[in-house]
Amino acid sequence: MYAIIKCGGKQYKVSEGDILDVDYTGQAAKETLEITDVLAINNGELKTGDAVANATVSAEVVLDGTGVNRAKKVIIYKKRRRKDSKLKRGFRKSFTKIRITKIAA
């Protein structure tokens, strides 16, 4: 059984026991998270639309990615040739690591 959920503007295909990194939600570790934005559920047959209108996915926050637990640094480097102009910036994204505990259809 799997579900397709929308969390933080992105879509994820999840099943029970999966661990994934989603955009930062502001919740501390060991809190529960209810995701009500379920797009589809498959338990033998695929259900979408009104059939999954009141479906929820429960998740447990494993780690909140703030402080030292952020994602790997992404380097943004811009260079304009023959102009002696260059710019180097780094960016580390905050995330929340969650574990899917239950899919309720």
pLDDT digits (tens, 9 = 90+) for 56-96: 999 999 998 787 889 999 999 999 999 999 999 999 999 99
* C-beta of residue 16 within 8 angstroms of C-beta of residue 102: yes
pLDDT confidence of residue 14: 97
* Residue 14 tokens, joined: 């999840």
Q: What is the per-residue pLDDT for 66?
A: 81
Q: What integer pLDDT is reported at residue 105 of this predicted model?
A: 84
Average pLDDT, the chain: 94
